[in-house]
Amino acid sequence: LGWFLIDKIMKAPNPEKKPGLALWRFCYSIVGLEEKHLTGFKQACTLNDWFMFVEEENETDKMFGVTLKEYGAKEVKLGVKGCATKLSDKMILGDYIAEIVYPKTFRKLWEIQNRLPKQLAKFNLGKHIQLMRLPQPKMTVILTKNKKLAEEYRKEYLQRERN
């Protein structure tokens, strides 16, 4: 999924250079991505300013958020209530909104993985990568072109960022 989000959504044409938004339940990890996709993430963050808003705020999300900023994300804000649903996340770029819908069981596994370690020293990265990759769940991406709605999302979340 990571490579798809980077190559097909984050690097999509955005001629007006509108900021990109990621509205996530949990902070995404770039751990385990191939070098070409890590480079792609950096390129995406130079092409457009990316602001990540994450509903959760736990030690794992904090660690992944710091990593995303180090790789070029403009801002990663944790603890943003209501920015994602139990089963889906959104990414907005230009006039497009991509909704990523996850199977309930995978989303629950992700929740356990991110909330479980109370200290980063207890986070088992190898197990995390294995658990997040093995199920290979079917995810659905719904792509909508809606300039007005995309602007509403930017207005809502970027205004929060400034306050």
Cβ neighbours around 74 below 10 Å, total: 15
pLDDT of res. 119: 61
Instruction: Judge contact between 38 and 69, C-beta under 8 A.
Output: no
Q: What is the pTM of this model?
A: 0.85
What tens digit of pLDDT does each residue of 68-96 get? Answer: 999 999 999 999 999 999 899 999 999 99
- The 10s digit of each residue's pLDDT in 30-81 is 877 889 999 999 999 999 999 999 999 988 899 899 999 999 999 999 999 9
CA Rg value for the chain: 15
HSE value, Cβ hemisphere, 13 Å, CA-based, for 45:
19
For 5-19, 22-36, 53-67, 143-157, which range has the lowest pLDDT when averaged over its residues? Answer: 22-36
Q: Is the dihedral of CA 88, 139, 64, 126 positive or negative?
A: positive
pLDDT exceeds cutoff 80 at 115:
no
Q: Round to whole Å and give the CA distance between 29 and 66.
A: 10
HEC profile for the chain?
CHHHHHHHHHCCCCCCCCCEEEEECCCCCCCCCCHHHHHHHHHHHHHCCEEEEECCCCHHHHHHHHHHHHCCCCEEEECCCCCCCCCEEEEEECCEEEEEECCHHHHHHHHHHHHCCCCHHHCCHHHHHHHHHCCCCCCEEEEEECHHHHHHHHHHHHHHHHC
Tokens 């900023």, residue located: 69
